[in-house]
Structure 1
Amino acid sequence: MSETVSFGYEDIPATEKTARVGGVFTNVASRYDLMNDAMSGGMHRLWKDRFVRRVKPRAGEQILDMAGGTGDIAFRLQESGASVTVADINPAMLEVGMKRAQERGLDGLVWTEANAEVLTFPDRFFDAYTIAFGIRNVTDIPAALREAHRVLRRGGRFFCLEFSTTTWPGFKEVYDAYSHKMVPKLGQLLAQDADSYRYLIESIRRFPDMPAFEAMIRDAGFVQTKVEPLLGGLVAIHSGWKI
Protein backbone atom coordinates (compact mmCIF):
# COMPACT_ATOMS: atom_id res chain seq x y z
CA MET A 1 0.00 0.00 0.00
CA SER A 2 1.28 3.49 -0.85
CA GLU A 3 1.99 6.05 1.85
CA THR A 4 -0.93 8.19 0.67
CA VAL A 5 -4.46 7.12 -0.22
CA SER A 6 -7.56 8.89 -1.45
CA PHE A 7 -10.13 10.40 0.87
CA GLY A 8 -12.63 11.70 -1.61
CA TYR A 9 -10.68 14.06 -3.85
CA GLU A 10 -7.97 14.51 -1.22
CA ASP A 11 -4.79 12.48 -0.98
CA ILE A 12 -4.03 11.88 2.68
CA PRO A 13 -1.57 9.75 4.68
CA ALA A 14 -2.75 6.14 4.70
CA THR A 15 -2.55 6.13 8.49
CA GLU A 16 -5.30 8.76 8.68
CA LYS A 17 -7.95 7.26 6.40
CA THR A 18 -9.51 4.69 8.72
CA ALA A 19 -10.20 7.29 11.39
CA ARG A 20 -11.52 9.86 8.93
CA VAL A 21 -13.84 7.37 7.24
CA GLY A 22 -14.93 6.27 10.70
CA GLY A 23 -15.90 9.83 11.47
CA VAL A 24 -18.00 10.04 8.32
CA PHE A 25 -20.00 6.92 9.15
CA THR A 26 -20.41 7.83 12.80
CA ASN A 27 -21.91 11.11 11.62
CA VAL A 28 -24.33 9.55 9.14
CA ALA A 29 -25.22 6.25 10.85
CA SER A 30 -28.63 7.27 12.20
CA ARG A 31 -29.76 8.63 8.82
CA TYR A 32 -27.84 6.24 6.58
CA ASP A 33 -30.81 4.31 5.16
CA LEU A 34 -32.93 7.44 4.77
CA MET A 35 -30.15 9.03 2.75
CA ASN A 36 -29.73 5.90 0.62
CA ASP A 37 -33.41 6.15 -0.31
CA ALA A 38 -33.11 9.85 -1.07
CA MET A 39 -29.93 9.56 -3.14
CA SER A 40 -31.03 6.55 -5.21
CA GLY A 41 -34.76 7.13 -5.35
CA GLY A 42 -35.15 3.86 -3.47
CA MET A 43 -33.29 1.90 -6.15
CA HIS A 44 -30.65 0.72 -3.68
CA ARG A 45 -33.27 -1.71 -2.36
CA LEU A 46 -33.64 -3.30 -5.80
CA TRP A 47 -29.87 -3.47 -6.22
CA LYS A 48 -29.51 -5.22 -2.87
CA ASP A 49 -32.30 -7.68 -3.69
CA ARG A 50 -30.56 -8.56 -6.94
CA PHE A 51 -27.21 -8.83 -5.20
CA VAL A 52 -28.51 -11.35 -2.65
CA ARG A 53 -30.16 -13.38 -5.42
CA ARG A 54 -26.74 -13.64 -7.08
CA VAL A 55 -25.16 -14.80 -3.80
CA LYS A 56 -27.76 -17.60 -3.56
CA PRO A 57 -27.50 -18.11 0.21
CA ARG A 58 -28.53 -21.53 1.45
CA ALA A 59 -29.69 -22.91 4.77
CA GLY A 60 -26.81 -23.99 6.99
CA GLU A 61 -24.16 -21.91 5.24
CA GLN A 62 -21.82 -19.62 7.13
CA ILE A 63 -21.79 -16.17 5.51
CA LEU A 64 -19.74 -13.12 6.44
CA ASP A 65 -21.37 -9.80 5.56
CA MET A 66 -18.54 -7.30 5.80
CA ALA A 67 -19.21 -3.56 6.26
CA GLY A 68 -22.81 -4.58 6.80
CA GLY A 69 -23.51 -2.58 9.95
CA THR A 70 -27.08 -1.47 9.27
CA GLY A 71 -28.13 -5.02 8.41
CA ASP A 72 -29.63 -4.39 4.98
CA ILE A 73 -27.81 -7.29 3.32
CA ALA A 74 -27.75 -9.55 6.39
CA PHE A 75 -31.52 -9.41 6.83
CA ARG A 76 -31.96 -10.56 3.25
CA LEU A 77 -29.33 -13.30 3.57
CA GLN A 78 -30.85 -14.65 6.76
CA GLU A 79 -34.19 -15.35 5.07
CA SER A 80 -32.53 -18.36 3.42
CA GLY A 81 -31.68 -19.96 6.76
CA ALA A 82 -27.99 -19.18 6.44
CA SER A 83 -25.96 -18.31 9.55
CA VAL A 84 -24.87 -14.71 9.01
CA THR A 85 -22.11 -12.81 10.74
CA VAL A 86 -22.39 -9.04 10.34
CA ALA A 87 -19.01 -7.33 10.62
CA ASP A 88 -18.32 -3.60 10.53
CA ILE A 89 -15.45 -1.43 11.69
CA ASN A 90 -17.86 1.24 12.89
CA PRO A 91 -19.72 0.60 16.17
CA ALA A 92 -22.29 3.31 15.42
CA MET A 93 -23.34 1.49 12.25
CA LEU A 94 -23.53 -1.82 14.12
CA GLU A 95 -25.69 -0.19 16.77
CA VAL A 96 -28.15 0.91 14.08
CA GLY A 97 -28.26 -2.60 12.63
CA MET A 98 -28.78 -4.31 15.97
CA LYS A 99 -31.62 -1.91 16.79
CA ARG A 100 -33.26 -2.58 13.44
CA ALA A 101 -32.96 -6.35 13.97
CA GLN A 102 -34.56 -6.04 17.40
CA GLU A 103 -37.44 -3.98 15.97
CA ARG A 104 -38.03 -6.70 13.36
CA GLY A 105 -37.89 -9.47 15.91
CA LEU A 106 -34.87 -11.00 14.19
CA ASP A 107 -32.37 -12.99 16.18
CA GLY A 108 -29.60 -15.39 15.28
CA LEU A 109 -27.41 -12.82 13.58
CA VAL A 110 -23.89 -12.42 14.94
CA TRP A 111 -22.71 -8.80 15.20
CA THR A 112 -19.02 -8.04 15.49
CA GLU A 113 -16.73 -5.03 15.20
CA ALA A 114 -14.02 -5.91 12.70
CA ASN A 115 -11.52 -4.33 10.32
CA ALA A 116 -11.81 -5.80 6.80
CA GLU A 117 -8.05 -5.57 6.36
CA VAL A 118 -7.19 -7.66 9.44
CA LEU A 119 -9.95 -10.16 10.22
CA THR A 120 -9.77 -12.32 13.33
CA PHE A 121 -11.79 -15.19 11.84
CA PRO A 122 -9.96 -18.47 11.17
CA ASP A 123 -8.85 -19.63 7.75
CA ARG A 124 -11.44 -21.33 5.51
CA PHE A 125 -14.38 -20.61 7.84
CA PHE A 126 -17.09 -19.08 5.62
CA ASP A 127 -18.99 -20.34 2.59
CA ALA A 128 -19.59 -16.84 1.25
CA TYR A 129 -18.28 -13.30 1.83
CA THR A 130 -20.41 -10.31 0.92
CA ILE A 131 -19.67 -6.60 1.02
CA ALA A 132 -22.08 -3.94 -0.26
CA PHE A 133 -21.04 -0.31 -0.74
CA GLY A 134 -18.18 -0.77 1.68
CA ILE A 135 -15.03 -1.78 -0.17
CA ARG A 136 -14.30 1.71 -1.51
CA ASN A 137 -14.03 3.03 2.06
CA VAL A 138 -11.32 0.54 3.03
CA THR A 139 -7.83 1.99 3.36
CA ASP A 140 -5.96 -1.00 1.89
CA ILE A 141 -8.34 -2.65 -0.57
CA PRO A 142 -5.91 -5.39 -1.72
CA ALA A 143 -5.40 -6.40 1.93
CA ALA A 144 -9.16 -6.63 2.45
CA LEU A 145 -9.54 -8.78 -0.66
CA ARG A 146 -6.75 -11.10 0.50
CA GLU A 147 -8.49 -11.43 3.88
CA ALA A 148 -11.77 -12.25 2.13
CA HIS A 149 -9.97 -15.01 0.23
CA ARG A 150 -8.32 -16.32 3.39
CA VAL A 151 -11.49 -16.73 5.45
CA LEU A 152 -13.40 -18.48 2.65
CA ARG A 153 -13.52 -22.23 2.35
CA ARG A 154 -12.44 -23.89 -0.87
CA GLY A 155 -15.38 -23.47 -3.22
CA GLY A 156 -16.40 -20.34 -1.31
CA ARG A 157 -17.70 -17.33 -3.16
CA PHE A 158 -17.00 -13.62 -2.94
CA PHE A 159 -19.62 -11.02 -3.86
CA CYS A 160 -19.22 -7.26 -3.83
CA LEU A 161 -21.83 -4.62 -4.66
CA GLU A 162 -20.24 -1.25 -5.31
CA PHE A 163 -20.67 1.96 -7.24
CA SER A 164 -18.58 2.23 -10.39
CA THR A 165 -18.50 4.29 -13.57
CA THR A 166 -21.47 4.17 -15.91
CA THR A 167 -20.68 3.75 -19.60
CA TRP A 168 -24.07 4.92 -20.87
CA PRO A 169 -23.60 7.99 -23.10
CA GLY A 170 -25.27 11.04 -21.64
CA PHE A 171 -26.27 9.38 -18.39
CA LYS A 172 -22.80 9.76 -16.90
CA GLU A 173 -22.90 13.54 -17.30
CA VAL A 174 -26.40 13.80 -15.84
CA TYR A 175 -25.47 11.62 -12.87
CA ASP A 176 -22.24 13.50 -12.24
CA ALA A 177 -24.10 16.79 -12.14
CA TYR A 178 -26.79 15.38 -9.85
CA SER A 179 -24.41 13.69 -7.45
CA HIS A 180 -21.99 16.57 -7.04
CA LYS A 181 -24.60 19.32 -6.78
CA MET A 182 -27.65 17.67 -5.21
CA VAL A 183 -26.38 14.91 -2.92
CA PRO A 184 -24.49 17.24 -0.53
CA LYS A 185 -27.63 19.40 -0.37
CA LEU A 186 -29.73 16.33 0.46
CA GLY A 187 -27.17 15.41 3.09
CA GLN A 188 -27.51 18.82 4.67
CA LEU A 189 -31.31 18.76 4.52
CA LEU A 190 -31.89 15.22 5.79
CA ALA A 191 -28.81 14.52 7.91
CA GLN A 192 -27.48 18.01 8.65
CA ASP A 193 -24.17 16.87 7.15
CA ALA A 194 -23.20 18.00 3.66
CA ASP A 195 -19.49 17.23 4.03
CA SER A 196 -19.91 13.52 4.75
CA TYR A 197 -22.06 13.05 1.68
CA ARG A 198 -19.68 15.10 -0.43
CA TYR A 199 -16.96 12.63 0.62
CA LEU A 200 -19.15 9.62 -0.24
CA ILE A 201 -19.74 10.94 -3.76
CA GLU A 202 -16.07 11.81 -4.24
CA SER A 203 -15.04 8.35 -3.03
CA ILE A 204 -17.11 6.83 -5.84
CA ARG A 205 -15.23 8.90 -8.39
CA ARG A 206 -11.86 7.77 -7.04
CA PHE A 207 -12.78 4.07 -6.96
CA PRO A 208 -11.24 1.85 -9.69
CA ASP A 209 -13.39 1.19 -12.75
CA MET A 210 -14.92 -2.25 -13.34
CA PRO A 211 -12.00 -3.89 -15.22
CA ALA A 212 -9.43 -2.52 -12.76
CA PHE A 213 -11.35 -3.72 -9.70
CA GLU A 214 -11.95 -7.13 -11.26
CA ALA A 215 -8.18 -7.41 -11.77
CA MET A 216 -7.67 -6.63 -8.06
CA ILE A 217 -10.06 -9.45 -7.15
CA ARG A 218 -8.10 -11.86 -9.35
CA ASP A 219 -4.83 -10.70 -7.85
CA ALA A 220 -6.19 -11.64 -4.41
CA GLY A 221 -6.47 -15.24 -5.58
CA PHE A 222 -10.05 -15.50 -6.82
CA VAL A 223 -10.93 -17.28 -10.04
CA GLN A 224 -13.89 -17.22 -12.43
CA THR A 225 -14.33 -13.55 -11.65
CA LYS A 226 -17.33 -11.79 -13.13
CA VAL A 227 -18.75 -8.28 -13.30
CA GLU A 228 -22.46 -7.55 -13.72
CA PRO A 229 -23.04 -3.85 -14.48
CA LEU A 230 -26.28 -2.21 -13.37
CA LEU A 231 -27.42 1.03 -15.00
CA GLY A 232 -24.54 0.76 -17.42
CA GLY A 233 -22.02 0.35 -14.61
CA LEU A 234 -23.23 3.04 -12.21
CA VAL A 235 -23.37 0.10 -9.81
CA ALA A 236 -21.73 -3.29 -10.35
CA ILE A 237 -21.89 -6.74 -8.80
CA HIS A 238 -18.41 -8.27 -8.68
CA SER A 239 -17.91 -11.94 -7.91
CA GLY A 240 -15.21 -14.57 -7.69
CA TRP A 241 -14.58 -18.06 -6.36
CA LYS A 242 -11.93 -19.60 -4.17
CA ILE A 243 -10.60 -22.98 -5.29
Structure 2
Amino acid sequence: MPGSPTDTVSFGYEDVAPEEKTRRVGEVFSNVAAKYDLMNDAMSGGLHRLWKDLFVRRVKPRAGEQILDMAGGTGDIAFRMAKTGASITVADINPQMLEVGIERATERGIDGLVWSEANAETLQWPDKFFDAYTIAFGIRNVTDIPKALREAHRVLKRGGRFYVLEFSTTQWPGFGQVYDAYSHHLVPKLGKLLANDEESYRYLIESIRRFPDMAAFERMIADAGFTQTRVEPLLGGLVAIHSGWKI
Protein backbone atom coordinates (compact mmCIF):
# COMPACT_ATOMS: atom_id res chain seq x y z
CA MET A 1 0.00 0.00 0.00
CA PRO A 2 1.23 3.55 -0.68
CA GLY A 3 2.85 5.03 2.36
CA SER A 4 3.72 1.65 3.91
CA PRO A 5 7.18 1.30 5.49
CA THR A 6 8.26 -1.15 2.76
CA ASP A 7 7.72 1.32 -0.06
CA THR A 8 10.79 2.57 -1.87
CA VAL A 9 11.28 5.45 -4.28
CA SER A 10 14.04 6.28 -6.72
CA PHE A 11 17.01 8.40 -5.77
CA GLY A 12 18.91 8.45 -9.02
CA TYR A 13 19.57 4.82 -9.86
CA GLU A 14 19.09 3.73 -6.24
CA ASP A 15 15.83 2.68 -4.60
CA VAL A 16 15.57 4.14 -1.11
CA ALA A 17 12.97 4.74 1.59
CA PRO A 18 10.83 7.85 0.98
CA GLU A 19 12.20 9.72 3.98
CA GLU A 20 15.75 8.91 2.83
CA LYS A 21 15.05 10.41 -0.60
CA THR A 22 13.62 13.57 0.94
CA ARG A 23 16.72 13.97 3.11
CA ARG A 24 19.20 13.25 0.34
CA VAL A 25 17.48 15.48 -2.24
CA GLY A 26 17.58 18.23 0.37
CA GLU A 27 21.33 17.76 0.69
CA VAL A 28 21.78 17.88 -3.09
CA PHE A 29 19.98 21.18 -3.44
CA SER A 30 21.70 22.67 -0.42
CA ASN A 31 24.96 21.79 -2.16
CA VAL A 32 24.04 23.20 -5.58
CA ALA A 33 21.99 26.25 -4.52
CA ALA A 34 24.84 28.71 -4.98
CA LYS A 35 25.68 27.19 -8.37
CA TYR A 36 22.12 26.95 -9.70
CA ASP A 37 22.71 28.60 -13.07
CA LEU A 38 25.89 26.60 -13.52
CA MET A 39 23.99 23.40 -12.76
CA ASN A 40 21.29 24.13 -15.32
CA ASP A 41 23.80 25.29 -17.92
CA ALA A 42 25.69 22.02 -17.50
CA MET A 43 22.58 19.87 -17.88
CA SER A 44 21.06 21.79 -20.78
CA GLY A 45 24.00 23.35 -22.60
CA GLY A 46 22.57 26.74 -21.62
CA LEU A 47 19.23 26.10 -23.32
CA HIS A 48 17.31 26.17 -20.03
CA ARG A 49 17.06 29.94 -20.32
CA LEU A 50 15.19 29.72 -23.63
CA TRP A 51 13.00 26.89 -22.34
CA LYS A 52 12.02 28.95 -19.31
CA ASP A 53 11.15 31.92 -21.50
CA LEU A 54 8.88 29.69 -23.59
CA PHE A 55 7.39 28.08 -20.47
CA VAL A 56 6.32 31.45 -19.06
CA ARG A 57 4.81 32.43 -22.42
CA ARG A 58 2.71 29.24 -22.26
CA VAL A 59 1.56 30.02 -18.69
CA LYS A 60 0.41 33.51 -19.78
CA PRO A 61 0.50 35.12 -16.31
CA ARG A 62 -1.79 38.14 -16.01
CA ALA A 63 -1.95 41.14 -13.72
CA GLY A 64 -3.90 40.45 -10.54
CA GLU A 65 -3.57 36.67 -10.68
CA GLN A 66 -2.30 34.62 -7.75
CA ILE A 67 0.37 32.21 -8.99
CA LEU A 68 2.30 29.59 -7.03
CA ASP A 69 5.76 28.82 -8.39
CA MET A 70 6.67 25.58 -6.65
CA ALA A 71 10.30 24.44 -6.32
CA GLY A 72 11.16 27.89 -7.63
CA GLY A 73 13.54 28.91 -4.87
CA THR A 74 16.14 30.74 -6.92
CA GLY A 75 13.50 32.81 -8.69
CA ASP A 76 14.18 31.97 -12.34
CA ILE A 77 10.52 31.49 -13.26
CA ALA A 78 9.15 34.03 -10.77
CA PHE A 79 11.37 36.82 -12.10
CA ARG A 80 10.03 36.22 -15.58
CA MET A 81 6.41 36.18 -14.41
CA ALA A 82 6.71 39.18 -12.07
CA LYS A 83 6.97 41.51 -15.07
CA THR A 84 3.30 40.81 -15.86
CA GLY A 85 1.94 42.21 -12.61
CA ALA A 86 0.76 38.85 -11.29
CA SER A 87 1.16 38.16 -7.58
CA ILE A 88 3.81 35.43 -7.37
CA THR A 89 4.43 33.16 -4.40
CA VAL A 90 7.80 31.43 -4.70
CA ALA A 91 7.81 28.19 -2.74
CA ASP A 92 10.61 25.73 -2.12
CA ILE A 93 11.28 22.99 0.40
CA ASN A 94 14.93 24.03 0.59
CA PRO A 95 15.75 27.20 2.55
CA GLN A 96 19.17 27.55 0.90
CA MET A 97 17.51 27.78 -2.51
CA LEU A 98 15.14 30.45 -1.19
CA GLU A 99 18.07 32.41 0.23
CA VAL A 100 19.71 32.44 -3.19
CA GLY A 101 16.47 33.61 -4.78
CA ILE A 102 15.94 36.43 -2.31
CA GLU A 103 19.52 37.60 -2.82
CA ARG A 104 19.11 37.49 -6.60
CA ALA A 105 15.82 39.41 -6.40
CA THR A 106 17.52 42.12 -4.36
CA GLU A 107 20.37 42.37 -6.87
CA ARG A 108 17.86 42.74 -9.72
CA GLY A 109 15.64 45.20 -7.91
CA ILE A 110 12.65 42.85 -8.08
CA ASP A 111 10.29 43.24 -5.14
CA GLY A 112 6.74 42.20 -4.38
CA LEU A 113 7.42 38.46 -4.51
CA VAL A 114 6.31 36.27 -1.60
CA TRP A 115 8.93 33.71 -0.51
CA SER A 116 7.74 30.63 1.36
CA GLU A 117 9.32 27.41 2.57
CA ALA A 118 6.90 24.65 1.54
CA ASN A 119 6.71 20.94 0.78
CA ALA A 120 4.94 20.22 -2.53
CA GLU A 121 3.28 17.18 -0.94
CA THR A 122 1.69 19.11 1.95
CA LEU A 123 1.01 22.68 0.88
CA GLN A 124 -0.06 25.12 3.58
CA TRP A 125 -2.46 27.13 1.41
CA PRO A 126 -6.24 26.64 1.44
CA ASP A 127 -8.29 25.00 -1.27
CA LYS A 128 -8.94 26.97 -4.47
CA PHE A 129 -6.42 29.71 -3.68
CA PHE A 130 -4.27 30.10 -6.82
CA ASP A 131 -5.07 30.89 -10.45
CA ALA A 132 -2.02 29.02 -11.73
CA TYR A 133 0.62 26.61 -10.43
CA THR A 134 4.04 26.28 -12.06
CA ILE A 135 6.95 23.98 -11.36
CA ALA A 136 10.11 23.99 -13.49
CA PHE A 137 12.74 21.24 -13.21
CA GLY A 138 11.46 20.34 -9.76
CA ILE A 139 8.75 17.69 -9.98
CA ARG A 140 11.18 14.81 -10.58
CA ASN A 141 12.84 15.52 -7.23
CA VAL A 142 9.60 15.26 -5.25
CA THR A 143 9.40 12.11 -3.15
CA ASP A 144 5.68 11.36 -3.71
CA ILE A 145 4.86 12.82 -7.11
CA PRO A 146 1.18 11.73 -7.25
CA LYS A 147 0.59 13.35 -3.87
CA ALA A 148 2.21 16.59 -5.04
CA LEU A 149 0.03 16.58 -8.16
CA ARG A 150 -3.10 16.16 -6.04
CA GLU A 151 -1.98 19.04 -3.82
CA ALA A 152 -1.47 21.22 -6.89
CA HIS A 153 -5.01 20.41 -7.99
CA ARG A 154 -6.38 21.16 -4.52
CA VAL A 155 -4.91 24.66 -4.20
CA LEU A 156 -5.97 25.74 -7.69
CA LYS A 157 -9.22 27.58 -8.27
CA ARG A 158 -11.75 26.18 -10.71
CA GLY A 159 -10.47 27.20 -14.10
CA GLY A 160 -6.93 27.22 -12.73
CA ARG A 161 -4.07 26.04 -14.86
CA PHE A 162 -1.16 23.76 -14.07
CA TYR A 163 2.19 23.88 -15.87
CA VAL A 164 5.28 21.70 -15.52
CA LEU A 165 8.64 22.10 -17.26
CA GLU A 166 10.75 18.99 -16.86
CA PHE A 167 13.42 16.88 -18.50
CA SER A 168 12.06 13.79 -20.22
CA THR A 169 13.19 11.30 -22.87
CA THR A 170 13.91 12.52 -26.38
CA GLN A 171 12.32 10.57 -29.22
CA TRP A 172 14.72 11.84 -31.87
CA PRO A 173 16.71 8.87 -33.27
CA GLY A 174 20.34 9.05 -32.23
CA PHE A 175 20.03 12.23 -30.20
CA GLY A 176 19.10 10.38 -27.01
CA GLN A 177 22.31 8.35 -27.15
CA VAL A 178 24.38 11.48 -27.70
CA TYR A 179 22.76 13.28 -24.77
CA ASP A 180 23.09 10.20 -22.54
CA ALA A 181 26.81 10.05 -23.25
CA TYR A 182 27.19 13.78 -22.57
CA SER A 183 25.10 13.81 -19.43
CA HIS A 184 26.39 10.67 -17.76
CA HIS A 185 30.06 11.18 -18.52
CA LEU A 186 30.62 14.91 -18.81
CA VAL A 187 28.09 16.59 -16.51
CA PRO A 188 29.38 14.99 -13.28
CA LYS A 189 32.93 15.88 -14.31
CA LEU A 190 31.83 19.48 -14.93
CA GLY A 191 30.23 19.44 -11.50
CA LYS A 192 33.52 18.38 -9.96
CA LEU A 193 35.55 20.89 -11.97
CA LEU A 194 33.30 23.92 -11.56
CA ALA A 195 31.51 23.29 -8.27
CA ASN A 196 33.69 20.62 -6.60
CA ASP A 197 30.58 18.42 -6.39
CA GLU A 198 30.48 15.41 -8.68
CA GLU A 199 27.92 13.34 -6.78
CA SER A 200 25.13 15.96 -6.69
CA TYR A 201 25.40 16.41 -10.44
CA ARG A 202 25.44 12.65 -10.95
CA TYR A 203 22.18 12.34 -9.00
CA LEU A 204 20.54 15.12 -11.02
CA ILE A 205 21.33 13.32 -14.27
CA GLU A 206 20.25 9.93 -12.94
CA SER A 207 16.97 11.42 -11.69
CA ILE A 208 16.12 12.41 -15.27
CA ARG A 209 16.53 8.81 -16.41
CA ARG A 210 14.21 7.51 -13.67
CA PHE A 211 11.46 10.05 -14.36
CA PRO A 212 8.36 8.76 -16.23
CA ASP A 213 8.23 9.33 -19.98
CA MET A 214 5.93 11.99 -21.43
CA ALA A 215 2.88 9.76 -21.91
CA ALA A 216 3.18 8.21 -18.45
CA PHE A 217 3.57 11.57 -16.72
CA GLU A 218 0.60 12.98 -18.63
CA ARG A 219 -1.49 10.09 -17.27
CA MET A 220 -0.31 10.93 -13.75
CA ILE A 221 -1.46 14.52 -14.20
CA ALA A 222 -4.87 13.32 -15.41
CA ASP A 223 -5.11 10.86 -12.50
CA ALA A 224 -4.65 13.82 -10.11
CA GLY A 225 -7.87 15.33 -11.48
CA PHE A 226 -6.65 17.63 -14.23
CA THR A 227 -8.44 17.82 -17.58
CA GLN A 228 -7.40 18.93 -21.07
CA THR A 229 -3.89 17.67 -20.35
CA ARG A 230 -1.29 18.46 -22.98
CA VAL A 231 2.39 17.75 -23.63
CA GLU A 232 4.66 19.98 -25.69
CA PRO A 233 7.99 18.23 -26.39
CA LEU A 234 11.13 20.30 -26.87
CA LEU A 235 14.15 18.81 -28.65
CA GLY A 236 12.06 15.75 -29.40
CA GLY A 237 11.12 15.33 -25.74
CA LEU A 238 14.46 15.90 -24.05
CA VAL A 239 12.42 18.50 -22.18
CA ALA A 240 8.63 18.78 -22.12
CA ILE A 241 6.05 21.33 -21.06
CA HIS A 242 3.09 19.54 -19.45
CA SER A 243 -0.16 21.32 -18.72
CA GLY A 244 -3.64 20.71 -17.44
CA TRP A 245 -6.73 22.54 -16.18
CA LYS A 246 -8.85 22.27 -13.08
CA ILE A 247 -12.52 22.51 -13.97
* TM-score bin (small chain): over 0.9
Distance in 2, matches of 1:37 and 1:209, equals 22
Once residues 230 and 64 of structure 1 are traced to their aligned partners in structure 2, the CA distance between those partners, rounded to angstroms, is 24
1:156-202: per-residue Cα shift (whole Å, max 9, x none)? Answer: 00000000000000000000000000000010011110000000000
User: Partners in 2 of 1:127 and 1:148 — Cα distance?
Assistant: 11
Q: Helix, strand or coil: the match of 2:110?
A: coil
Aligned partner of 1:186 in structure 2 is 190
User: Given the two structures, how large is their TM-score scaled by the length of structure 2?
Assistant: 0.97
- CA deviations 1:40-94 (Å, max 9, x no partner) are 2221000000000000000000000000000000000111100000000000000
CA distance in 2, matches of 1:38, 1:151: 33
Which runs of 5 or more residues in structure 2 are unaligned?
none
Q: In structure 2, what is the equivalent of residue 145 of structure 1?
A: 149
The letter for the 2-side match of 1:99 is E
Which residue of structure 1 aligns with residue 34 of structure 2?
A: 30
Q: CA–CA distance in 1 between the matches of 2:70 and 2:157?
A: 16
SS in 2 for 1:240: strand
Shift of 1:14: 1.2
Q: Is the 8 A contact 1:67 1:132 kept in 2?
A: yes
Mapping 1:1-243, distance limit 5 Å: 1=2, 3-243=7-247
Contact 1:164–1:234 at 8 Å: present in 2 too?
Answer: yes
Q: CA RMSD in A?
A: 0.7
Task: Give the TM-score normalised by the residue count of structure 1.
Answer: 0.99
Find the aligned partners of 1:8 and 1:107 in 2 and give their Cα distance: 36
Please list every run of at least 4 consecutive aligned residues from structure 1 whose deviation after the TM superposition is greater than 3 angstroms: none
Structure 1 position 151, deviation (Å): 0.2
In 1, are the aligned partners of 2:39 and 2:201 still within 8 Å (CA)? Answer: no
Unaligned runs of 5+ in 1: none
Check whether the contact 1:130–1:159 (CA below 8 A) recurs between aligned residues: yes
Q: Percent identity?
A: 81
Deviates more, 1:105-114 or 1:35-44: 35-44
AA partner of residue 118 (structure 1): T
AA aligned opposite 1:30: A
